[in-house]
Amino acid sequence: MKIEIEKGQDKPLLSDGQHHVTITDIEEGESENKGIPFFAVRFENEDGYVSHRFYQSRAGMSNIISLFERVGIDVNEGIELDTKQLMGKELDIEVGERSYSDPNTGSERTLKQAMDFVAI
């Protein structure tokens, strides 16, 4: 098997705490269990990276709106947001861990994620 290493893949996960980051990648998908659309953002700096999924659901919209507002993109009712607008934007984030129960196995899982988005 050949494994290709892309730029930035050798970076470690960011440590817990506040970090100044740049949005370097955005991938779109659907949740494995309920088919909810999401986009995953890679927040990166010279120390490492962390990825965070933003779910396009009623509960997830406040996080999506907060992210766009934190990078200086106006959010108004009736407009359509484009995740491409986020690429290359800088902001401060708080990195931490979140635990949840895996719906497939019932076991507890922990993941590192961006927990707060701070305007710069």
Q: Domain ranges in the chain?
A: 17-118
**Could you tell me whether strands 17-30 and 37-45 are parallel, antiparallel, or unpaired per DSSP bridges?**
antiparallel
Q: What is the pLDDT of residue 6?
A: 65
Q: What is the pLDDT of residue 8?
A: 61
- Select from 3.40.50, 3.30.300, 2.40.50, 1.10.1060 the CATH code of 17-118: 2.40.50
How far apart are the C-alpha atoms of 96 and 112, rounded to whole Å?
A: 6
Q: What is the pLDDT of residue 52?
A: 93
Q: What is the pLDDT of residue 111?
A: 72
Q: What is the pLDDT of residue 118?
A: 55
Q: What is the pLDDT of residue 100?
A: 72
Show the low-confidence residues of the chain (pLDDT under 50).
120
